[in-house]
Amino acid sequence: MILTIPYTVYAQNSDFQTLLDSAKLEFFNEDADYYRAASLLEQAVLLRPRDAETRYFLGYAYSRINSRDGENIVDMSWNLTVKTSEQFEKVNQLSPRYTGEMILLDPYSKLSSEWASLAMNYLYKSQPDSALMALYEGKQRGGFNDFTLSLNRKILDRCNKNAILISAGDRFTMPIQYLQTVENYRTDVAVVDVFLLASQWYPPFLAARKTVEFDMPAEALDTVGVRLWTDRTVSINNFSWTLKPSYYRTYSFLVRNDLLLLSILQKNKFKRDIYFVPGFPSERLLSLDNYLTSLFIVNKLTVKNNLNLSFDEYKQLLISALQDVNKINANSSDELRLLDFLRVNICNTLHKNHYFDPDNIAKGKELIKLMKNLANEQYYPILLEDLKNYLDMFE
């Protein structure tokens, strides 16, 4: 017995690590087998039921079986969403500040994403009551945290009436869906997720619900794919700009998301104001970077008249953007990243508006100091190292 126990423990440890490592590899394979990953992780959980990282990856495996990507949201099921949710809930119980390896979202954000995706599935199937039930369930199970909801309320509030808000990914699209569906909050704002535009189901869904219009018939939306593209001038009304390719390989081209977003802009003709969420990926901006005015928590497309805000107006915007940081779940790396998005937006705006030039540096430092006081790094650490180094220059 004296020899057997250590050997058994060693064997279990070895088996556990082999199972976990083998399962992790599936997530980085082009033809990932998530059923295999889930099977391996289920065995690993039996060996170490209190290992948070194993639970995290098992939740992600179930999630990918339920909906491999945005294309498969319309195939999601309630039961598999529950199985997925249970794993991330367990991660939060075992390790409130999860420090293991991550795929993309932290366990708190993943809960929001799963239940909001299921709600989107039900909305696509014209089952609004089921969508509401899914969102209520997600909130009860630990999703849709207070700071994330508060920030997205502010994003909606900053949009003019009947605006179009171009979102990018689960950190914004899913909480906004909760606000508009559960709280009936700012439903006049049309929200379009630029990544979901790549799917086959989402553009017709937007068109059928009259969320936005495209400059092509509904039946043509399925046919939009990749288009070879070189720098060319695009004009909408009296506004023109040079649209560059979004991808450069052997050939240069625009992808489906780009073309459908461009279609929305061309049909809209700037009748409705256009906004982009903070941290929006530059490669999806259709070369409109120089025409965005930052309002800290949202970026407005200004093609007619540039917004020239005063120092006092920027100061009030900054205070408004950061007044709810005390609602942050400091255990959530994603909520801290949202705060970093705001910090970066603030710094970029101050730089763009010459508040770091010699004549204005005193005002720039005043705003940076205000930002640091409102979002104290001691309580809300900066996760982006470059941002931290940049802000340290203003000490």
In this prediction, residue 360 carries a pLDDT of 85
DSSP string of 116-160, one letter each residue:
HHHHHHHHHTT-HHHHHHHHHHHHHTT-S-HHHHHHHHHHHHHSP
In this prediction, residue 13 carries a pLDDT of 64
Rounded distance between C-alpha atoms, residue 172 and residue 157, angstroms = 14
- Looking at residue 2, what is its pLDDT? 40
Which sequence spans correspond to the domains of the chain? 14-140, 146-301, 311-392
* 3-state SS track over 164-224: EEEECCHHHHHHHHHHHHHCCCCCCCEEEECCHHHCCCHHHHHHHCCCCCCCCCHHHHHHC
How high is the pLDDT of residue 314? 85
Q: What is the mean pLDDT of each run of 10 residues along the chain (395 residues)?
A: 40 80 92 95 96 98 96 96 98 97 96 98 97 98 95 95 96 96 97 97 96 94 93 94 87 93 96 93 93 89 77 89 92 93 86 84 89 92 88 77
Pick one of 1.10.510.10, 3.20.20.70, 2.40.50.100, 1.25.40.10 as the CATH number of 14-140. 1.25.40.10
Q: What is the pLDDT of residue 10?
A: 42
CA distances from residue 182 to 73, 149, 230 in whole angstroms, order as listed = 20, 12, 44
Q: What's the pLDDT at 165?
A: 98
CA distance 81 to 123: 16
Query: Are the C-beta atoms of residues 334 and 106 closer than 8 Å to each other?
Result: yes
Quick one: pLDDT at residue 392?
Answer: 81
Global confidence as pTM:
0.91
Backbone angles phi, psi at 327, to 5 degrees: -90, -5
| CA–CA distance, 383 with 333 (Å, rounded to integer) | 8
Q: Please give the pLDDT value at position 134.
A: 98
The pair of structure tokens assigned to 392 is 């340290």
Residue found under tokens 């293991």: 100
Smallest CA-to-CA distance from 284 within 303, 306, 265 is with 265
Quick one: pLDDT at residue 9? 38
Q: Would you list the DSSP string of 327-342?
A: G--TT-HHHHHHHHHH
